[in-house]
Amino acid sequence: MQQANAKKGSTRWSNRFAYILAATGAAVGLGNIWKFPYIMGENGGGAFVLVYLLCIVFIGVPVMMAEVAIGKQGRHTPGHSVSDVAKASGKPAWWGFVGWMGVISGYLILSFYVVIAGWALAYIFKAGAGQFGSGDPKAVANLFAGLTGNGWALLGWTSTVILATVLVIGKGVKAGLERAVSALMPLLFVILLILAGYAASEGDFGAAFHFMFDPDFSKLSINGVVVALGHSFFTLSLASGIMIMYGAYLPEGVSIAKSSLWIAFFDTLVALIAGLAIYPIVFANGLEPGAGPGLIFQTLPIAFGQMPGGRIVGTLFFIMLVFAAFTSALALIESSVAWLVEKRGFSRWGAAFAAGFGIWLLSLGTIASVAELPISQFAMPWGKSDFFTMLDYFTANIALPIGGLLIALFTGWVANKGLMAELIDAKAVFRLWHPVIKFLAPLAILLVFLQLTGIIQL
Ligand code: PFF
Ligand code: NA
């Protein structure tokens, strides 16, 4: 076994359960707990949630199956795996760029992901130390501004997150990644349930339920639809190299269809519960649902300061957020590390530190755009705070949907149909999956984009 693992392309998750846990750890992250609640708030609630759910089921799950299948066939890093599937289908190897695009998107996303994860880490200590006080909105706003305005503090928290990621990923897929995820994910689910129970008993659950599940389509813009589509990729870790890479470690005999459904189910469940844990508190305290990226850092602490037991609950909340972010950061860096080992002859530890150092350098762009660093005036010639906003918008709403479109087109039109049928286990599932990946998913993504650019109006 030891020997087999040393051979290239032979690393595998321990079993089906370990794979589902690792992939769920990759999926459940800041996207569910930080991003989903605030973009839902910005885009009007119920109608946005409905479109988001449709995107998950009809586009996200089929694309996830496609990516895992590619990884399982190639057993290499994403670019190489897509090339392999192309070659096995008698098509040119340059199709590998589809995998490469994902790895690059994932790397760019990680560069701001670690900064937000750093905010969450800092907030564990602020909550624990009782710094939300009695929940005075002004004091809480100052606390957030004090953190995000302090470039050196952000640099410290961000560097800590990156270092922790490097130290776990350097140990390898099984001894590092799989072990960390097996410990953190069960804890995350326990904390989430405690929080949801607390919110249901202490907050305005009815108002939150109405906000999230009563669709009002007059509140949904075409940009909101694009955000929902982009977020369905973001939240499921698609088009970012992750699911191709995790598929490369898939043990034999695991159903790609069933495991993908479980992963999407858990991810959606966590996002919805996070919404149902956060919005009752938001509404019970008369807070603003459209507060943007600061929602859980600026509005929730007001409530934590005012509610009974808020200090403990607040601390638990940010611990959960850090666990979720951390297991996703591990996933976001894995493809780059594996590539350095596979193609550039790095040791696992060397690759982990090299990839981590690159992320650290890139993260300076995001830090310098929210706070003042000595490089701020060079990094942001077009004005402060734009780099982060642009990077987030570009990666989530453009790079991920286009990456997903390319995966769908590649597996639907380029890859050999017989080969895909073999990979997507059950015959009945394949017959359902193939027309979706060939026609429905690409068409839906294209329609949304053409709408956005104003080329067509539905
Ligand atoms: N899926 C994780 C989240 O929702 O936070 C992490 C993530 C992976 C985000 C891949 C974006 C991405 F492209
Ligand atoms: Na997610």
pLDDT, tens only, 399-446? 999 999 999 999 999 999 999 999 997 889 999 999 999 999 999 999
pLDDT for position 2: 37
Ligand 1 atom nearest 234 alpha carbon: 11
CA-CA-CA-CA torsion sign (243, 246, 250, 254): negative
401 near 449, Cβ under 8 Å? yes
Domains along the chain with CATH numbers: 16-453 (1.10.4160)
Pocket test for ligand 1, best of 30, 236, 392 (most atoms within 8 A of CB): 30
Burial of 152 (0-12, 13-18, 19+ CB in 10 A): exposed
pLDDT tens digits, residue range 113-127? 999 999 999 999 999
pLDDT tens readout for residues 377-405 = 555 445 544 688 889 888 988 899 999 99
Ligand 1: nearest atom to the Cα of 395: 13
The closest of 340, 328, 329, 338 to 363, measured between CA atoms, is 329
Residues of the chain with pLDDT under 50: 1-8, 380-381, 384-385
State the distance from the centre of ligand 1 to the C-alpha of 446, rounded, in angstroms: 22
β-partners of residue 399 are: none
pTM for the whole structure: 0.93
The residue count of the chain comes to 458
C-beta neighbour count of 97 within 10 angstroms:
14
Using the mean position of ligand 1's atoms as its centre, give its distance from the Cα of residue 309 in Å: 31
Complex ipTM? 0.99
CA-CA distances (angstroms) from residue 231 to 269, 396, 397, 444? 15, 7, 7, 15
The three-state DSSP-derived secondary structure of 61-73 is: HHHHHHHHHHHHH
- 266 contact partners, CB below 8 Å, separation of at least 6: 24, 27, 28
* Residue-level pLDDT at 186: 94
Q: Considering every ligand atom, which ligand is closest to the CA of 243?
A: 1
- Taking CB atoms and a 6 Å cutoff, what residues make up the pocket around ligand 1? 27, 29-32, 106, 109, 234-235, 237, 240, 242, 328, 332, 400
> For residue 215, what pLDDT is reported?
93
